[in-house]
Amino acid sequence: MLRGNCSLSQIRNIVEDSKKILIVSHYNPDGDAIGSSLALCAFLNKLSKDCSVYNRDEIPNYLNFLSATGFYTSIDLLPTDFDLLIIVDLNDFERTGPDMQNYIDLNFINTEKPIIVIDHHENNKINDANLYIDTKACSTGVLIFRLIKEFQGLIDSYIATCLLTTIITDTASFKNSNSNEEAFLISHELVKSGGDLQSINKKIFETGDIKKLALRTKIYSTLRFEKKIKSAICYSTNSFYAETHTSKEDSEGIANSLINYSDVELGIFIREIEPQKWKASLRGNNHYNLSDFASKFGGGGHRNASGFMFSGDLESLIEKIILELKDEQNTNR
């Protein structure tokens, strides 16, 4: 069996040799994880493959315009006897969640059934699989598009909307520096194929209701600006959500919003997951390598967008981040 980096035609061969396929993306899914999974599933169904999609978490409300069938959030409910696993938009089995990580060990690694990874993140941590990774691709959806083209497959309006969602999400509507020529070329074709750009932009970027503003007011009131390292940091605790009757989805995009200010090169938003457990989201303007920076905390991502989890108290996390950034600033001087 093949292992390591593969060409599209090798990926195609592996897919053609299988009948029952499981597609898995990362927990806390975003538009790229969901859009890539659903587009791939819809395409493989057209090839008469029996396909299921797993994510540890439900599809977030703001993505519910991408209707899904064969979508599972519980391993107990999953069909059995898959002969191929396709991982999308992640490069570390840990990012599938503990249950799925166990499931992959038992059902694929131990049995030597094939695994394909289709991804665009840096610092790949998966070796035991057939890899199709391109860190220059703006979204994983772009790689799914390339795979469909390898099959000379047709892109219907549903697949087009799923794939366009991946590009709009990961480029922040062509504002991020990953908005390359391919992003525009493929988007052009996806719009021609019926991709519903207006719905996508409306759903993904609509401001939401006024409760969200109340939440954001609380979050921005925690703002700390560190001029030397050009970093803006803010956080939310679970009480913020409870008091404003909002949920974690209502704080999406906070880190991104911070780098719109001219003196901020790095925006950091830290969200409480449970007492003493925090999720940091980092967004940058090319000043720091945020993939490398998040790695220092056991996380990962891209040069300008990354994240990690942290156990401990908030103050020590913030102090640690600031110290590391000052260190980095000094080394680069």
Interface contacts to ligand 5GP, rule CB under 6 A: 26, 28, 30, 92, 95, 121, 281, 299-302, 305-309
| Cβ proximity to ligand 5GP, 126 vs 197, nearer residue | 126
Quick one: 165 or 246, whose CB is closer to Mn ion? 165
Minimal distance, residue 305 CB to ligand 5GP, in Å? 4
Short-list 19, 18, 93, 17, CA closest to 54: 93
Burial 152-168 (b: 16+ CB within 10 A, else e): eeebeebbbbbbbbbbb
Interaction partner, residue 308 (ligand 5GP, Mn ion, none; CB < 5-8 Å by kind): ligand 5GP
Question: Do 27 and 56 contact (CB within 8 A), yes or no?
Answer: yes
Which stretch in 110-118, 124-132, 140-148, 196-204 sits in contact with Mn ion by CB under 5 A?
Answer: 140-148
CB of 253 to Mn ion, least distance (A): 15
Q: Could you say whether residue 119 binds Mn ion (CB under 5 A)? A: no
One symbol per residue from 258 to 297: x for binding Mn ion (CB under 5 A), - otherwise; what is it? ----------------------------------------
The arrangement of strands across the sheet holding 305-311 comes to 224-226, 231-236, 266-274, 277-284, 305-311, 300-301
CA-wise closest residue to 30 among 139, 134, 179: 139
Q: How far is the CB of 306 from ligand 5GP (least distance, A)?
A: 4
* Of 213, 204, 218, the residue nearest 169 (C-alpha): 204
Question: By CB under 5 A, is residue 250 in contact with Mn ion?
Answer: no
Report the residue number, 15 or 282, with the smaller CB distance to ligand 5GP. 282
- Token pair for 265: 């090169």
Sheet containing 84-88: which strands, arranged edge to edge?
4-5, 130-133, 115-119, 84-88, 20-24, 50-54, 71-72
Tell the smallest beta-carbon distance from residue 37 to ligand 5GP (Å): 14
CB nearer to Mn ion: pick between 138 and 229? 138
The residue (of 121 and 218) whose beta carbon lies closer to ligand 5GP is 121
Residue span binding Mn ion (CB under 5 A) among the ranges 67-75, 137-145, 264-272, 322-330? 137-145
**The only residue of 6, 25, 29, 32 in contact with Mn ion, by rule CB under 5 A:** 32
Q: In a 3-state reduction of DSSP, which class is residue 279?
A: strand
- From the list ligand 5GP, Mn ion, none, which binds 56 (C-beta under 5 to 8 Å, kind-based)? none
H or E stretch covering 88: strand 84-88
CB 153 within 8 A of CB 130: no
Residue with the CB atom nearest Mn ion in the bound state:
32
Nearer to ligand 5GP, 155 or 270 (CB): 270
Compute the 3-state secondary structure of the chain and give helix, strand, coil in percent, each to the nearest 5.
45, 20, 40
CB of 297 to ligand 5GP, least distance (A): 8
Q: Report residue 228 as tokens.
A: 């030397």
Contacting residue, 34, 56, 85, 89, with Mn ion by CB under 5 A: 89
Closest approach of Cβ 97 to Mn ion, in Å? 17
Closer Cβ to Mn ion, 18 or 140, answer by number: 140
* Nearest-approach distance from CB 89 to ligand 5GP, in angstroms: 7
Taking the complex as a whole, the smallest distance from the CB of residue 30 to ligand 5GP amounts, in Å, to 6
Distance CA 272, CA 87 (A): 28
CA distances from 111 to 15, 105, 226, 228 (A): 18, 8, 51, 52
Smallest distance, Å, CB 149 to Mn ion? 19
Q: DSSP label at 105?
A: I
Kindly report the number of other CB atoms within 10 A of residue 197's CB atom.
17
Chain contacts with Mn ion (rule: CB under 5 A): 32, 89, 140, 170
